[in-house]
Amino acid sequence: MHIPDGYLSPATCAALYGGAAPFWYLALRRTRKLLLTRLVPMISVFAAFSFVLMMFNIPIPGGTTAHPLGVGIASIALGPWASILAISTALFIQAIFFGDGGVTALGANCFNMAIVGSLVAWLVYRALAGRSAITSSRRVVAAALGGYLAINGAALCAAIELGMQPHFFKSATGAPLYAPYPLGIAIPAIMIGHLTFAGLAELVVTGGVVAYLQRANPALLRFTAPGIQMPRADARQAAPIMGWRAARPLWTAVGLLMVLAPLGLLAAGKAWGEWGVHDFADPAARQQIARSSRNAVPPVAAPSGLERLARVWTAPFPGYSPSFVRSQAFGYILSALFGTGMIILLFILAGGIAQKLRPGLARAPANTEGG
């Protein structure tokens, strides 16, 4: 689902940067108080959770892969606006340092996964959970469905954006300039994997983490349940939700994911629509592309626009594989550590800048859903 450079036309990239910009602006305005509080560790940990979770590739029939996003639990725990910032930050680090998603397509990837994903998860969760108790099993079901629909909403947006390219952007000879497959191939190719394997993974992760938080720290679920009071017994047991110490159990889970991250390397093949320029000339890769695209033969060479834009940015650690590390598995773990460190650093810097610009906001109560 991470659209690389070259698969979207410059006009499409500009339009989706423009579409994402108002949401980023609103997210910054509505969460700026959080950046001045001890809730920064919570935003950082869910951004890191999403970053590492997206490294777990799942094999999809047809020879491609897909992965969960972690956007459902981020939106439910933090609220939609903080989730947009958290997931956008994870996607930014992935694109800049690891080449997972393009720099020109970053607006599109953030629009699909961070914005559409966060809003869908939040709306579904709020609608289905209703005014049920914080520890109700109904909230687990609502969260699971919210996560499932969030990843599929994001995937559908990506499929439409890719599938529109050959309809609107062609060379003088009629050859596609960017993504080569039309809507009729792009939508089923992407959605089949997300309606099944990746969607189910997101469903289990989102529902599972909410069930865990109901027992370990139910107060964290009150961000998206305003006005819902916890039973006295649960209120007494609720752990604090601020500070690095309060986030320690969640960081432990992220650390475990980092250690297990090399399992994501076991899935062979690339995600649909994330092929490199050289893949169009590689016989084995061409077979995989055709097999996952309803046996439609790919172009004999990478489309010219795709090849040109693919050179815009070269990530220092492409494929989460630092060149100075011989072991691919260790390189994967090292990349997860580096990416998480960069996420923490960015949020600490953002908090410091916000404190300098608006020192008075630190005394105001924080709210992840409102301004």
If you average pLDDT over residues 300-306, what whole number do you get? 96
- Look at 148-162, 179-193, 230-244, 291-305 and tell me which has the smallest mean pLDDT: 230-244
**Of 72, 67, 96, 92, residue with least CA distance to 83:** 72
Instruction: Please indicate whether residue 366 or residue 173 has the higher confidence score (pLDDT).
Output: 173
For 66-75, 115-124, 213-222, 256-265, which range has the lowest pLDDT when averaged over its residues? 213-222
Question: Residue 237's pLDDT is what?
Answer: 57
Instruction: Determine the pLDDT at residue 361.
Output: 55
Average pLDDT score, the chain: 90
Residue 309: pLDDT above 50? Answer: yes
For residues 83 and 122, is the Cβ–Cβ distance under 8 A? yes
What stretch of H or E contains 196?
none
Residue 161: both structure tokens together: 């954006």
Does pLDDT of 227 surpass 50?
Answer: yes
Nearest of 345, 358, 363 to residue 40 by alpha carbon: 345
Condensed to tens digits (0 to 9), the pLDDT of residues 142-182 reads: 999 999 999 999 999 999 999 999 999 999 999 999 999 99
> Among 73-77, 179-183, 249-253, 256-260, whose mean pLDDT is lowest?
249-253
